[in-house]
A = this chain, B = another copy of it.
Amino acid sequence: MSKIKVGVLGATGAVGQRFAQLLTDHPYFDLTVLAASERSAGKTYREATNWILTQPMPDHLATMTVQEMALDLDCDLVFSALPTNSAREWETQYAAAGYGVFSNAGAHRMDSDVPLLIPEVNPEHLDLLPTQQAAQGFKRGFIVTNPNCTSIPMTMALAPLHSQFGVEAVIATSMQAVSGAGYPGVPSLDIIDNILPFVAESEEVKMGQEPNKMLGFSNGQEVEMAGIRISAHCNRVPVSDGHLVTVSVSFKNKPSLGDILEAWQTWEPLPQQLNLPFAPQPPLVIRAENNRPQPRLDRDAGRGMATTVGRLRPCDVMDVRFVALAHNTVRGAAGGSVLNAELMYAQGQLDVFRQKTAASV
């Protein structure tokens, strides 16, 4: 079967680099376009990029020429690593021009007709796309978003519990890696021998809203929010990669600790059933040790796509508490977006692009 041509928007930044890395040699997608601002256009990717990932830049990326952002890119899908403020307009324009847009930006996440997607959690929210296309006048194009990096580990851990026991409220404290702030991001003077008890004005707001949308019910027109009260304390810590979250939860139907463990252990969501390339097996790694998960030891579980949970125990105020961790720039950004695209590909929802590609050959 023919691969689909894909491009990365904002390809030279921190998330853009991760997209480029993860899309190299992908079984479904053929990375043909690296697009960025005028400043980088015309340079090779090696020249244009201050490569910050620990794995070296793949050779074939190094020699690709960076293109300026434009609506005639030689690809059918675009993965957007644009900053939120420029993402709002560009992503709509790309969708209007017929591209499938998979966005890591915050701009459209809470739009009523835009799926905010974790494939393990709410794959059925893709049923919003016809509504979106009709409302926005997109013909073939669309916008699908992935959530904020800090919402991921918490939502992954809560998803199999919410469906069975009904999550009522959550109090969470995040300890977030500096890579979540991009590059140059957090000044080193701010973080050596230090903690910042603040990430961004919007961070705690997103933590409150996004899980409610993802755990909500889509009727195909819009999403009915899950109605979970969420309070998040977001902190920046001297860690390179991996967001750690302590979570206290209360439930409608009070589960035992054993019920929760079983719900986690037996969870086999759609991406794992479909055996998607980026789907971690299992989606939740459950650690029994009392000092896990840890960012340095657990962030790469499932090649950075798994969520690791541990320290499940009763909460003296709410019902239970636990700790969750996920890799913030793999699962929490580029990798999550790629998995969104894989889900649509595997369900045939991208066939229109495959046919076009075939025709154009």
Query: Which positions in A face B, CB cutoff 8 Å?
Result: 52, 54-56, 169-171, 173, 175, 178-179, 183-198, 201, 208, 229-231, 233, 235, 237-240, 244, 246, 248, 290-297, 300-301, 310-311, 315-318, 321, 323
Copy tally for this chain in the complex stands at 4
A178-B192, A185-B187, A197-B291 given; A231·B296 CB < 8 A: no
* 6 residue pairs A–B, Cβ–Cβ below 8 Å: A54-B296, A183-B189, A184-B187, A188-B190, A231-B318, A233-B246
Contact assessment for A323 and B231 in the assembled complex, using a CB-CB cutoff below 8 Å: no
Cβ A195 vs Cβ B171 within 8 A: no
User: Which chain B residues lie closer than 8 Å to A179 at the CB level?
Assistant: 189
**Cβ A240 vs Cβ B189 within 8 A:** yes
Chain B: minimal CB distance from A188 (Å): 4
When distances are taken between beta carbons in the complex, the residues of chain B under 8 Å from A297 are 54, 194
Establish whether residues B178 and A175, one from each chain, have CB atoms under 8 Å apart when the complex forms: no
Take A183-B187, A198-B311, A323-B233 as given contacts and tell me if A193 and B316 are in contact as well, using a CB distance cutoff of 8 Å: no
Chain B residues whose C-beta falls within 8 Å of the C-beta of A56 in the assembled complex: 301
Report whether A192 and B230 are in contact in the complex, using a CB–CB cutoff of 8 Å: no
**In the complex, what residues of B have CB within 8 A of residue A317's CB?**
169-171, 229-231
Q: A331 CB to closest chain B CB, in angstroms? A: 17
Contact B52 A188, beta carbon cutoff 8 Å: no
State how many angstroms separate the Cβ of A149 from the closest Cβ of chain B: 15
Cα-based distance from A242 to B12 in the complex (angstroms): 27
Question: Which residues does chain B contribute within 8 Å of A300, judged by CB atoms?
Answer: 54-55
Contact of A195 with B175 in the complex, beta carbons under 8 Å:
yes
Q: Is the CB of B230 within 8 A of A194?
A: no
CA distance A290 to B234 in the complex (A): 12
A233–B290 alpha-carbon span in the complex (Å): 12
Checking B171, B185, B246, B310 against A318 with a beta-carbon cut-off of 8 angstroms, the contacting residue is B171
* Nearest CB on B from A281, distance (A): 14
Bound complex: CA A55 to CA B296 (Å): 10
Q: Is the CB of A175 within 8 A of B235?
A: yes
Q: How far is the CB of A316 from chain B (nearest CB, A)?
A: 4
Instruction: With CB as the reference atom, state the residue of chain B lying closest to A323.
Output: B197
Quote the shortest CB–CB distance from A283 to chain B (angstroms): 16
Choose one: B178, B183, B197, B229; the contact of A294 (CB below 8 Å): B197
